[in-house]
A and B are shown apart, each in its own frame.
Chain A
Amino acid sequence: MDKVVSLRWILGIFTALFVLFLYGPFIVMGILSFQQGPEGGPQFPIIEWSSYWYQHVFGLAPPSRVAPLPIGEALIRSLTLAFATMVVSTVMGVLTAQAFRRPFKGSAVVFYSVILGMIVPGVLLGLGMVLIADQVGVARNWWSTAFVLHVVYTYPFAFLVMLAIFNRFDESVEEASLSLGVSPAKTFRKVTFPIIFPGVLSAMLFAFTLSYDEFPRTLFTGGSDVTMPIAIYGTFAVEIHPNLFAFGVLSTLFSFSLLAIYGILLTLSVRRQRQRASGLQEDIS
């Protein structure tokens, strides 16, 4: 028994170190983002705490030898691309998952083909797409060649989320709606969709975040108008400055706020139902 207890401690300490290993770089990056500017470099010691590099990211700092991050338009592009990708891959994910509710011949082939989209490395897919675009004579653009690959990548995630949701879905409510004289299309709108909505929300979150951060596929197929990750990758080549750290902190916060918005939307839809219910209970008592 003693051995188990000591094993528990060893593993516990190991896990704590592991978490430190996971988060260490973030913490260090966060600290260094408050380095003094513009002379302070991307390393310790902190000369003086300042928010200079954050101002630098937003273009508020006076011009200096450190070039501003090329993020303005890139950010707009990335957000637009992520939004379009989210819409298309969520719609396709829902449709495909809906089809998978009934067994059909060839379902295994279709399933694995779709899943392949999230497994095949971005480099390979990007390369293949470039080859095709080059042969067909299509110009490479973030809104064309890169967009279709973003959907190939995020659509399997949306599909898997919806598949899991439909697995727990009780079909009898749809049958009840049909037997009340409601058409299949309206049944989907008024019954199926409201019930699967939390799943749709998760699928959207996945698609948006993955597309927003997508990098290897876009590198090949994005063309000359860069998206955010490509712009950042471009700065890797040259000497790095703490403005990248400040940007890293901001973009991490952005990822988390997306997660938070998702959480709020989800709680709201649950609470709304509860409120409508509890309001009535007060009437009774």
Chain B
Amino acid sequence: MKSNKRTWLLLSPGITWILFFLVAPLIMMIYVSFWTQTTFSIKPELTVTSWVNFFSSDTYFGALLRTIRIWLTVLFVTLLVGYPVALYIGQFIKNKTLQTALLVTCVIPFWTSFLIRVLAWRPMLGKEGAINIVLQKIGIIDAPIEVLLFTELSVIIGMVQIYVVFMVGPIAFMIGRIDGSLIESARDLGASSWTIFRRIILPLSMPGVIVGAIFVTVMVLGEFATASALSGRKVNLLGNIIITQVGSLKWAFAAVAGVVLTIVMATFVAVMLRIVNLRNQL
């Protein structure tokens, strides 16, 4: 009994903080989404008007579809780009120091300011940007590619670079943990490289893929800065909708967008956790 009291005493600051500043705001968001919105104010009279408006408006529903499309594209590309890198780091580099050094190299950009990372793409992608200049110098293209900046493509490129780290890290960790003798013995038994990949490496790396996918999903769905900075405010995600609605004091609308975002996110995370039980992997 005595030790139980001590435990809750130790927990009390953290729990209090979480209840007041994490749980309460989220509940408030759900609650407010059912409030009555007038032009300049909001009244705590419950209604589903904001919800109906959200789904019947092309702007908002379109933003939802765009958000989902960009999220899935970024998710797919980070996996496509990140997996081979993680495979290389985890399986082909045998030297532990080199392995750690490479992983650290991949993680370091995460350490720098998020906005600076977004900003750094501007001189890369423009019509006179570094990519166009390099491609023209090598002679791959004659005229500069114009769709690089201020399009959906630039948003996707930026997001992939910013978030791919969260895919590489967990996958490389899981692949690095695979017992080398397992692969050796499979090879001795005559398994081809493809079979080894399909039967051993791929299944064992799945928890890493799931964790990476959850990270990327959660971050991309909450995004708005990359979209507005790299698309010239042309590409509006749900996050951007929330910003503008809050700016114009349309609280109920912002709350609806927030709840929709939460539902998409929670559904995906729940499905992912169904596939792999993470608690067994830790």
Give which listed residue, A123, A131, A148, A232, contacts B17 with CB less than 8 A: A148
Cβ A248 vs Cβ B120 within 8 A: yes
Q: Interface residues of A toward B: which range?
A: 35 or more
Give which listed residue, B6, B23, B193, contacts A113 with CB less than 8 A: B23
A125 within 8 A of B: yes
Are A151 and B130 CB-contacts (below 8 A) given A11-B87, A42-B123? no
Give which listed residue, A11, A92, A119, A124, contacts B84 with CB less than 8 A: A11
Are A15 and B89 CB-contacts (below 8 A) given A236-B228, A240-B122? yes
Cβ B29 vs Cβ A131 within 8 A: yes
Cβ A116 vs Cβ B111 within 8 A: no
A48 to B220, CA, bound (A): 39
Residues of B within 8 A of A (CB-CB), count: 75
B175 to chain A, nearest CB (A): 12
A3 to chain B, nearest CB (A): 6
Cβ B25 vs Cβ A121 within 8 A: no
Residues of B within 8 A of A130 (CB): 246, 251
Chain A CB within 10 Å, residue with most, of B116, B243, B255: B116
A255 within 8 A of B: yes
Cβ B258 vs Cβ A124 within 8 A: yes
Cβ A123 vs Cβ B258 within 8 A: yes
Cβ B225 vs Cβ A233 within 8 A: yes
**Interface residue ranges of B118-163 to A (CB < 8 Å):** 119-124, 126, 128-130, 133, 161
A209 to B107, CA, bound (A): 14
B125 to chain A, nearest CB (A): 9
The 8 A CB mask of B2-42 against A (1 = contact, 0 = none) is 01101110110111011011111111110010000000000
The 8 A CB mask of A224-235 against B (1 = contact, 0 = none) is 000001001100
A192 within 8 A of B: no
A222 within 8 A of B: no
Cβ A219 vs Cβ B243 within 8 A: yes
Residues of A within 8 A of B106 (CB): 18-19, 22
Cβ A117 vs Cβ B22 within 8 A: yes
Are A213 and B114 CB-contacts (below 8 A) given A18-B85, A44-B130? yes
The 8 A CB mask of B255-267 against A (1 = contact, 0 = none) is 1001001100100
Cβ A28 vs Cβ B7 within 8 A: no
Which residue of A has the minimal Cβ distance to B241? A123
Residues of B within 8 A of A135 (CB): 28
Residues of A within 8 A of B210 (CB): none
Give which listed residue, B113, B229, B258, contacts A229 with CB less than 8 A: B113
Residues of A within 8 A of B251 (CB): 130-131, 134
Cβ A104 vs Cβ B7 within 8 A: yes
Cβ A131 vs Cβ B28 within 8 A: yes
**Interface residue ranges of A237-278 to B (CB < 8 Å):** 240, 244-245, 247-248, 251-252, 255-256, 259
Cβ A113 vs Cβ B116 within 8 A: no
B240 to chain A, nearest CB (A): 9
Residues of A within 8 A of B102 (CB): 15
26 examples of A-B residue contacts, CB within 8 angstroms: A11-B87, A14-B85, A15-B89, A18-B164, A25-B117, A32-B123, A92-B13, A95-B10, A104-B4, A110-B11, A123-B239, A123-B258, A124-B242, A124-B262, A125-B26, A128-B258, A130-B251, A131-B25, A131-B29, A148-B20, A148-B21, A216-B222, A232-B113, A248-B120, A255-B111, A256-B111
A residues apposed to B, CB below 8 Å = 3-4, 7-8, 11-12, 14-15, 18-19, 21-26, 28-29, 32, 42-44, 91-93, 95-96, 98-99, 102, 104, 110, 113-114, 116-117, 119-125, 127-132, 134-135, 148-149, 151-152, 155, 159, 209, 213, 215-216, 219-220, 229, 232-233, 236, 240, 244-245, 247-248, 251-252, 255-256, 259
Question: What 15 new A-B contacts, CB under 8 Å, besides A96-B10, A129-B25?
Answer: A11-B87, A19-B106, A104-B7, A110-B14, A110-B15, A113-B23, A120-B26, A124-B222, A124-B262, A127-B254, A128-B29, A151-B17, A236-B225, A251-B113, A255-B111
